[in-house]
């Protein structure tokens, strides 16, 4: 494994990853993947700064040192350019930077893994290769590994979760992840991503298979589903107002009490006092990134029989 070095203007390290694929990789796929990883590595800069006790990095330059076919391997050279004022501070931290506790390599591996996790958790259930029951435990376990890695290099859980949350809402990050991991398509759903500098952060095919194939298949933040002839139970009502004061459940869809709203064409006052109706409804949901599932926000009563 190649070591880190301190130069007069920064820190140079190597970041080595491997796809467990046997098929030869087309040049176009490799180029797309390399560009994606370059951008993901650069995005780890905020985590590296935190792990280095606030040393400010002016920019991150990424170079390719070697590409090995077979199991596709990329060996990147990563240079973090530091201002002259911070070079001495970096030298004071030389043991952590390049010794037995290589915080930069851990931060880069953890950051790349966190960006992949953010994208996969946003898209869980969108790919039929793996079922949600298989993917959710794998994602939860991987999140725990990321959190542990962060604590090992003095990055707080709050800082890490902020990094993940921001990434999960950034469509550019999603594109970078899709591009970087594009070689997994060559293995028919069986490719793992090996982060050789920190094997505990390896990304399994169970997680990789949750990634969207392109930007057109992202899990939407919100979802509206229409159902006809549903049994609706009313727990609260207001004869004078149709947009507040109404609540209930649709037991065939969910059993937690939620707010009811009404389409303009529905005479809500005539329903006041009734406990059960048959109706066409739209269920409005939002994606919960903690549970990796949709949560019902409210229901619109569209028509009543």
- pLDDT tens across 88-105, in order? 777 776 655 555 557 888
d(CA 272, CA 236): 9
pTM: 0.69
Which of 35-49, 66-80, 210-224 tops mean pLDDT? Answer: 35-49
Q: How far lies 195's CA from each of 170, 202, 230, in Å?
A: 23, 5, 50
Write down the pLDDT at residue 218.
61
Q: What phi and psi values does residue 248 have, to the nearest 5 degrees?
A: 170, -160
Which residue has better confidence, 214 or 126? 214
Which residue has better confidence, 90 or 183? 183
When the pLDDT of each residue in the chain is averaged and rounded to a whole number, the result is 86
Answer yes or no: is pLDDT of 247 > 80.
yes
Sign of the C-alpha dihedral computed for residues 127, 146, 115 and 198 taken in this order: negative
Alpha-helical runs (H) found in 124-246: 132-152, 157-168, 171-180, 205-208
Confidence of residue 2 (pLDDT cuts 50, 70, 90): low
Q: What percentage of the chain exceeds 90 in pLDDT?
A: 53
Answer yes or no: is pLDDT of 9 > 70.
yes
Closest to 283 in 3D by CA, of 265, 304, 261: 261
Which residue has better confidence, 226 or 103? 226
Q: At 82, list the tokens.
A: 């530091």
Write down the pLDDT at residue 128.
43
Answer yes or no: is pLDDT of 132 > 90.
no
Write down the pLDDT at residue 129.
43
Write down the pLDDT at residue 130.
44
Question: Any idea what the Cα angle at residue 117 is, between residues 46 and 130, rounded to 5°?
Answer: 170
Write down the pLDDT at residue 171.
82
- pLDDT tens across 186-225, in order? 888 889 999 988 899 999 999 998 888 776 656 677 889 9
In this structure, how many other beta carbons lie within 10 angstroms of the beta carbon of residue 192? Answer: 18
d(CA 193, CA 175): 17
């Amino acid at each position: 494994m190649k070591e880190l070095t301190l130069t007069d203007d920064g820190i140079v390290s190597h970041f080595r990853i491997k796809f467990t694929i046997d098929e030869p990789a087309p040049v176009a796929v490799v180029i797309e993947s390399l560009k994606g990883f370059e951008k993901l590595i650069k995005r780890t800069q905020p985590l590296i700064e935190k792990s280095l006790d606030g040393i400010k990095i002016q920019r991150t330059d990424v170079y390719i040192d070697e590409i090995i076919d077979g199991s596709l391997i990329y060996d990147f050279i990563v240079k973090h350019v530091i201002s002259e004022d911070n070079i001495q501070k970096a030298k004071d931290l030389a043991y952590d930077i390049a010794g037995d506790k290589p915080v930069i390599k851990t931060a880069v591996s953890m950051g790349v893994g966190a960006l992949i996790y953010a994208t996969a958790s946003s898209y869980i259930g969108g790919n039929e290769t793996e079922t949600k029951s298989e993917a959710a435990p794998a994602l939860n376990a991987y999140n725990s590994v990321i959190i542990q890695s962060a604590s090992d290099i003095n990055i707080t859980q709050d800082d890490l979760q902020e990094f993940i949350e921001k990434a999960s809402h950034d469509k550019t990050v999603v594109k970078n992840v899709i591009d970087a991991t594009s070689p997994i398509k060559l293995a028919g759903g069986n490719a793992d991503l090996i982060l050789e500098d920190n094997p505990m952060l390896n990304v399994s095919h169970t997680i990789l298979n949750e990634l969207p194939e392109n930007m057109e298949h992202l899990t939407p933040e919100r979802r509206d589903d229409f159902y006809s002839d549903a049994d609706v139970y009313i727990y609260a009502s207001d004869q004078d107002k149709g947009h507040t004061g109404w609540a209930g459940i649709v037991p065939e869809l969910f059993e937690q009490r939620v707010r009811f709203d009404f389409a303009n064409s529905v005479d809500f006052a005539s329903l006041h006092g009734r406990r059960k109706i048959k109706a066409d409804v739209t269920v409005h949901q939002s994606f919960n990134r903690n549970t990796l599932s949709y949560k019902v926000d409210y229901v619109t009563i569209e028509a009543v029989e």
